[in-house]
Structure 1
Amino acid sequence: MKVLCFLCLLLQTKLCFSSTTQMLVLPLKTQLIPSGPLSRPPNRLPFHHNVTLTVSLSVGTPPQNVTMVLDTGSELSWLRCNSTRFYQPAFDPTKSSSYSPITCSSPTCTTRTQDFSIPASCDTNNLCHAVLSYADASSSEGNLASDLFSIGGGSEISTTVFGCMDSGYSSNSDEDSKTTGLMGMNRGSLSFVSQMGFPKFSYCISGSDFSGLLLFGDANFTWVGPLNYTPLIQISTPLPYFDRVAYTVQLERIKVSDKELPLPKSIFEPDHTGAGQTMVDSGTQFTFLLGPVYSALKKEFLNQTSRILRVLEEPNFVFQGAMDLCYRVPTSRPTLPQLPTVSLVFRGAEMMVSGKRLLYRVPGEIRGSDSVYCFTFGNSDLMAMEAYVIGHHHQQNVWMEFDLEKSRIGFAQVQCDLAGHRIGV
């Protein structure tokens, strides 16, 4: 596969204060890395991630610096331990006096999480052994453990359970050189945000330079404006295709400009198996819709752009395996033409996608004097997915608040680069 160059967002820690409340703010910075598959737990999203949100923090005693992918679609955090490859960063548990492996008799070892392909078990040393399976058919395994995790220059320190994994990684070596593991941020009991005890967290990603910020705690910024909240969907009965600890919201309608797609409301609701839930996932780059909804959106977007965009007439070209609506745009053109907006209407809130967030320039793909741009909505059916997924590309310039206490997500349109300047990061 051709190696392309994409942007990776790098978070570096900094502690900030407002005049009324203390909060922990982490500014986003950019770094170029080659693309490659990012390993994901089972029952998640089986496609490559070319842009990842990462957070830098320290673990252990004395502290070791690590960089972890911020993923609201996963529960268990893990670190690569004792890497056998010189270019891979790793956490060394033998150098931490506060590191503590978890025995298989511990209640933590029997905690249910969808991140495990099989239940955790005992190894020969009576330690809790876990196996994580990935979309590329590889797997990684290691032991559950706990250690001190420190963020914000040591302002927040907590003993946290994580996976100390040491085998089976197959992701791109250059991407490996940037990250040490994954930070699970969903609503499960073993997620990082649950273990740290934060009642809410927010992030804001800039659409101009991909910078932004991550905030733990209550923002209370009057300049953000009122947030529109949508409740998190709760289902108490276990269903085979429903992730009960994901950030699940109810998508109700989709509009292209002011035209609502002619779809029944029931098509957006999970069925009796749980298939069809709508998840907000920071670990996913783009947004994916079930086949019938994607087809209706594609048809209407094509109709409204027929006079301003030239379709790429290559039926076999499908970007990232699920994005089959692509265009040819002259490389000499400084900006994209005026595009119709796409509005995702949730219960109580609306997210409007406009401008360059609608089309993604595929690096390295040139047709004569034209660049290739693809529609940033994909068909989840092409990936054998059973869910709607709202990726972070469509969360640019949106203040995203995850309120765990009140079980809701808040949206507000914000210029995220200006937000960073206002907070002083």
Structure 2
Amino acid sequence: MASGGVPRRGALSSVFSGTVSPVLLIATVALVASPRRLGASSAAGAGTRTTRSSPDPDWHVVGVASLLPAAVCTASTAASNSTVVNVVHRHGPCSPLQSRGGAPSHTELLDHDQARVDSIHRKIAAAASATVLDQARAAKKGVSLPAQRGISLGTGNYVVSVGLGTPARDMTVVFDTGSDLSWVQCTPCSDCYEQKDPLFDPARSSTYSAVPCAAPECQGLASRSCSLDKKCRYEVVYGDQSQTDGDLARDTLTLGTPSDTLPGFVFGCGDRDTGLFGKADGLVGLGREKVSLSSQAAAKFGARFSYCLPSSPSGVGYLSLGGPAPGNARFTAMVTRRDTPSFYYVNLVGVKVGWRTVRISPVVFSAPGTVIDSGTVITRLPPRAYAALRTAFARNMGRYSYKKAPAVSILDTCYDFTGHTTVRIPSVALVFAGGTTVALDFSGVLYVAKASQACLAFAPNGDGTDVGILGNTQQKTLAVVYDVANQKIGFGANGCS
């Protein structure tokens, strides 16, 4: 791996020195917790569909000192997988993109998160409207609507390092289940944002080739054009108005080890790129369309991938293509929507606090599906569901008279733990269709801006008809398994630490 790249598992020795970025506080709960720390720490017993096991699953008991940020990159313990690359927070000490003074504030990060959520909701609403109109016009005139310009999504905050080209060049790219086309910035570039690494140079790769306009890969893009020399041009516009345009291309992608390669991998070679990509070299898409990495890798590695996001920005998780699902994974059905086939949906049907079911009418979750998204930070619930969760959580927290703290952006239920040695936090679990109940790690319950400002890490949608979104905070430490072949999504406790 090139100097500055993400360290491989088993060789994580990098240490960050200097000013600690505020983002390192984000639920920094790799937690040197007390021995009574409770929650989703291991698989449930045989015959259950629950990820928790504990002598008392109702509470987490955590040392307040463990909420302080870690400046050292620490290895995570994870099960062996077939083809694995490390996943790290792009602003944490494990990231090759980490730089002094370059991280956003908590308010900025959460505001960007809201922009991503808004863009996902707009995309779903526009697609649903277009589907209805398309069907009506087709029935009346036998015609269909043209594809919309661009793809309205946002960008994520976790990155992976992969090799591209022959010889392979290490590239650090944003990891995103909410989009499909993978891309990097290429030279020559007429208008590129600043990135930390040199641009990818197609002329230096013996296996690079441009995709012609007539190729099926080009024809399958939602937004494309044809250059004068018949090369396929792509365009992707994200929800925060970040954008990439360039040539659609093929080259060899290397994952994990030099033997784990995908020859002829289709990706975007961007030459006009602007936006908030945090000095990353580009993006790797893991959506459901044919052009995504997961779809292109399915023939070689199998139609299954999984990942684990570490509990803290100072930890290391993984992305695995293929391989068996963790033995403790519990599955729920993957929901498909014709209007937005790229997204992964599940049906969230309930919430538990302190392992007691929160009273929420089933009609509240009647919106078809909850998007599971690696790029959204905070889980969004229907307003009535969030209100019930907040009330139950605050009632449990009230037993210990914790001082209230000011809100942080979209997070309105916050506590000041100043003066406490340990704190008791009620457990939170999500209930999915089919009875699968997933207890969240402590790092998935609170968003910790600082010890004096720890907030319930959920937020309400603006409207009860908006689709819910399962964000990456709630996914921390879980092995999240996308079994595309069998159309189901699973969650395994203790996927990484």
TM-score by length of 2: 0.66
Determine the C-alpha separation between the residues in 2 that align with 1:216 and 1:47.
23
Local SS of the residue matching 2:217? helix
Q: Which amino acid aligns with 1:327?
A: Y
Answer with 31-40 or 66-75: which moved more: 31-40
Matches within 5 A, 1:247-266: 247-266=344-363
Equivalent in 123, 147, 171 of residue 276 of structure 2: 171
- Asked whether the 8 Å contact 1:290–1:380 carries over to 2, the reply is yes
1:136 aligned residue = 240
* Residue-by-residue CA offset, 1:227-254 (whole Å, 9 max, x unaligned): 211110134xx33xxx223221111111
Answer with 286-295 or 338-347: which moved more: 286-295
| Structure with higher helix content | 2
| Structure with higher strand content | 1
Answer with 28-37 or 127-136: which moved more: 28-37
- Asked whether the 8 Å contact 2:85–2:162 carries over to 1, the reply is no
1:152 aligned residue = 256
Determine the C-alpha separation between the residues in 2 that align with 1:123 and 1:47.
25
* Residue-by-residue CA offset, 1:277-333 (whole Å, 9 max, x unaligned): 312212222212132222222222222222433222x4xx442xx322222221x43
Give, in angstroms, the shift of residue 85 of structure 1: 5.8
Q: Are residues 180 and 268 of structure 1, via their aligned partners in 2, closer, same or farther at CA, if it must alter by over 3 Å?
A: same
* Residue-by-residue CA offset, 1:180-231 (whole Å, 9 max, x unaligned): 11111122111101111232122233436532333222236xxx54321111
1:326 aligned residue = 414
Determine the C-alpha separation between the residues in 2 that align with 1:27 and 1:161.
22
2:227 aligned residue = 123
Determine the C-alpha separation between the residues in 1 that align with 2:356 and 2:439.
13
Give, in angstroms, the shift of residue 28 of structure 1: 4.6
- Asked whether the 8 Å contact 1:41–1:74 carries over to 2, the reply is no
Give, in angstroms, the shift of residue 58 of structure 1: 0.9
- Asked whether the 8 Å contact 2:153–2:179 carries over to 1, the reply is no
Q: Are residues 328 and 404 of structure 1, via their aligned partners in 2, closer, same or farther at CA, if it must alter by over 3 Å?
A: same
- Asked whether the 8 Å contact 2:379–2:459 carries over to 1, the reply is yes
Equivalent in 315, 337, 353 of residue 440 of structure 2: 353
Q: Which amino acid aligns with 2:209?
A: S
Give, in angstroms, the shift of residue 257 of structure 1: 1.8
Give, in angstroms, the shift of residue 91 of structure 1: 1.6
- Asked whether the 8 Å contact 2:372–2:470 carries over to 1, the reply is yes
Local SS of the residue matching 1:285? coil
5+ residue gaps, structure 2: 1-19, 29-72, 89-93, 122-151
- Asked whether the 8 Å contact 2:84–2:255 carries over to 1, the reply is no
Q: Are residues 86 and 244 of structure 1, via their aligned partners in 2, closer, same or farther at CA, if it must alter by over 3 Å?
A: closer
Q: Which amino acid aligns with 1:357?
A: G
Question: Is 1:403 aligned with 2:483?
Answer: yes
Determine the C-alpha separation between the residues in 1 that align with 2:224 and 2:79.
41
Question: Is 1:26 aligned with 2:85?
Answer: yes
Local SS of the residue matching 2:459? strand
Matches within 5 A, 1:214-363: 214-219=319-324, 224-235=326-337, 238-239=338-339, 243-270=340-367, 276-308=368-400, 309-312=402-405, 314=406, 317-319=407-409, 322-330=410-418, 332-335=419-422, 337-348=423-434, 349-362=436-449
Matches within 5 A, 1:74-113: 74-82=179-187, 84=192, 87-89=195-197, 90-113=199-222
Equivalent in 435, 448, 456 of residue 375 of structure 1: 456
Answer with 388-397 or 189-198: which moved more: 388-397
Question: Is 1:213 aligned with 2:318?
Answer: yes
5+ residue gaps, structure 1: 114-118, 271-275, 364-369, 418-425
Question: Is 1:194 aligned with 2:295?
Answer: yes
Give, in angstroms, the shift of residue 415 of structure 1: 5.8
Determine the C-alpha separation between the residues in 1 that align with 2:214 and 2:256.
34
Q: Are residues 26 and 130 of structure 1, via their aligned partners in 2, closer, same or farther at CA, if it must alter by over 3 Å?
A: closer
Q: Which amino acid aligns with 1:304?
A: N
Q: Which amino acid aligns with 1:393?
A: T
Q: Are residues 299 and 47 of structure 1, via their aligned partners in 2, closer, same or farther at CA, if it must alter by over 3 Å?
A: farther
Determine the C-alpha separation between the residues in 2 that align with 1:404 and 1:357.
25
Determine the C-alpha separation between the residues in 2 that align with 1:86 and 1:27.
23
* Residue-by-residue CA offset, 1:34-54 (whole Å, 9 max, x unaligned): 1365997994379987x7322
Matches within 5 A, 1:37-52: 43-44=119-120, 52=157
Determine the C-alpha separation between the residues in 1 that align with 2:153 and 2:448.
18
1:67 aligned residue = 172
Q: Are residues 87 and 193 of structure 1, via their aligned partners in 2, closer, same or farther at CA, if it must alter by over 3 Å?
A: closer
Determine the C-alpha separation between the residues in 1 that align with 2:491 and 2:195.
39
Give, in angstroms, the shift of residue 66 of structure 1: 0.6
Determine the C-alpha separation between the residues in 1 that align with 2:87 and 2:373.
18
Figure out how many residues of one structure are paired with residues of the other and give that number: 371
Q: Which amino acid aligns with 1:328?
A: D
2:148 aligned residue = none
